[in-house]
Amino acid sequence: MTYTFHAKETVSLLKQLVEIPSPSGFTKEIMDFMENILKQLQVDYIRTNKGALIATIKGADETKHRLLTAHTDTLGAMVKEVKGSGRLKLTMVGGFNWNAVEGEYCTIHTADGKKIRGTILMHQTTVHVYKNASGLPRDEQNIEVRIDEKVLTAEDTRKLGVEVGDFVSFDPRFEETETGFIKSRHLDDKASTALLLQLIKIIQDTKVTLPHTTHFYISNNEEIGYGGNSNVPAETVEYLAVDMGAIGDGQSSDEYTVSICAKDSSGPYHYELTRQLVELAKKENIDYKLDIYPYYGSDASAAIRAGYDVKHALLGPGIEASHAYERTHIDSLENTAKLLYSYVFAKMS
Ligand SMILES: [Zn+2]
């Protein structure tokens, strides 16, 4: 396999991606950014009504297609209520625990395009006033946004243009360490999105014909369950979701290898396709882990649920502390990139 992983390029693209706010439902800016990149790469694509992008590269076999997907939407929140104090109550977009965003800086995106800064805090944060705050539940009632504007009443806040239904994005706090770690929110699934873009670039640069026509589906509704479950081209035989590997007690995934998922909450992934991925990894000396994700669904399982007749599989970089302050290592990105490369250049079995 003649493949070189461009670590610097991949990480700088990933940084750009995580820094564009894109909670599910508020993805126009990131999808415009993605569309621009696809244009530069001179690849054919369509934009769906739901806002996803599907890029297509013709292969030698145009009758049996492959589809690879990653998602650009992330966790976030929406203004649920403007409180009498001028502060905001939030409702979650996507699934996370409130403690994962407590203390985080955020941006409120108003309908007229203003970006107002704030901090997500427990209402009872000040220790000099609230004695038993540490034991209080982190929930919709107690969590609020302190706006960085002189507001004392709901009216003051509304005058800024802030209203119920405005999206709120969390600061990613991207950091790359000298030891090779990448720490940031939203590595799920912008790490895989960066890898897919890099893969498209390599294919376009080398001008080598793929064995099968291959689609790259950049979805924008995964965190709310229906990202890649529409517009799957009829010739698609294999559907590969590229999304994070889940790390924790009892899990085999880690931050250094590519994680191949055998089963998640939706049930087992397609056995033969999963085996093919494992065999490819072995053949190319790619460090991989086979794993089962206990609380997880992907765009591949969403496509199956929607009724698509495809063989589905899931792989991706191992992401530590998912849906919170996430972290992965450059080794995991490299192993994932290598497996993706050898997969798109392999014949369908
Ligand atoms: Zn994801």
Q: What is the pLDDT of residues 10-67, one digit of tens each?
A: 999 999 999 999 999 999 999 999 999 999 999 999 999 999 999 999 999 999 999 9
- CA 217 – CA 238 distance, rounded (Å): 13
29: left (phi > 0), else alpha (psi -120 to 50), else beta? Answer: alpha
Among candidate residues 248, 183, 168, 190, the one with its CA nearest the CA of residue 34? 190
Tell me the pLDDT tens digit for each residue of 99-156: 999 999 999 999 999 999 999 999 999 999 999 888 999 999 999 999 999 999 999 9
Query: For position 133, what pLDDT does the model report?
Result: 86
Q: Name the active-site residue from 144, 222, 255, 320.
A: 222
Tell me the pLDDT tens digit for each residue of 197-242: 999 999 999 999 999 999 999 999 999 999 999 999 999 999 999 9
In the reported structure, the alpha carbon of residue 322 is separated from the centroid of ligand 1 by a whole-number distance in angstroms of: 9
- CA 156 – CA 75 distance, rounded (Å): 28
* Cβ pair 69, 258 in contact under 8 A: no
Residue 333 has φ and ψ, to the nearest 5°, of: -65, -40
- Strand extents, DSSP E, the chain: 44-47, 53-57, 59-71, 76-82, 88-93, 105-109, 115-122, 143-147, 167-170, 175-176, 181-183, 210-219, 236-242, 245-246, 258-264, 267-268, 288-292, 311-319, 327-329
- In this predicted structure, the answer to whether residue 73 has a pLDDT above a threshold of 80 is yes
Query: For position 349, what pLDDT does the model report?
Result: 78
DSSP conformational letter for 275: H
In the reported structure, the alpha carbon of residue 195 is separated from the centroid of ligand 1 by a whole-number distance in angstroms of: 14
- Strand extents, DSSP E, 17-139: 44-47, 53-57, 59-71, 76-82, 88-93, 105-109, 115-122
Mean pLDDT value across residues 78-105: 98
Query: For position 53, what pLDDT does the model report?
Result: 98
Query: For position 2, what pLDDT does the model report?
Result: 76
Tell me the pLDDT tens digit for each residue of 266-312: 999 999 999 999 999 999 999 999 999 999 999 999 999 999 999 99
Query: For position 228, what pLDDT does the model report?
Result: 92
Confidence class for position 1, pLDDT limits 50, 70, 90: low
Mark whether 222 is an active-site residue: yes
In the reported structure, the alpha carbon of residue 144 is separated from the centroid of ligand 1 by a whole-number distance in angstroms of: 26
> Which tokens sit at 142?
């107690």
Query: For position 93, what pLDDT does the model report?
Result: 98
Query: For position 3, what pLDDT does the model report?
Result: 86
In the reported structure, the alpha carbon of residue 244 is separated from the centroid of ligand 1 by a whole-number distance in angstroms of: 6
In the reported structure, the alpha carbon of residue 127 is separated from the centroid of ligand 1 by a whole-number distance in angstroms of: 36
In the reported structure, the alpha carbon of residue 346 is separated from the centroid of ligand 1 by a whole-number distance in angstroms of: 25
* Cβ pair 319, 247 in contact under 8 A: yes
Residues composing the chain: 349
In the reported structure, the alpha carbon of residue 5 is separated from the centroid of ligand 1 by a whole-number distance in angstroms of: 22
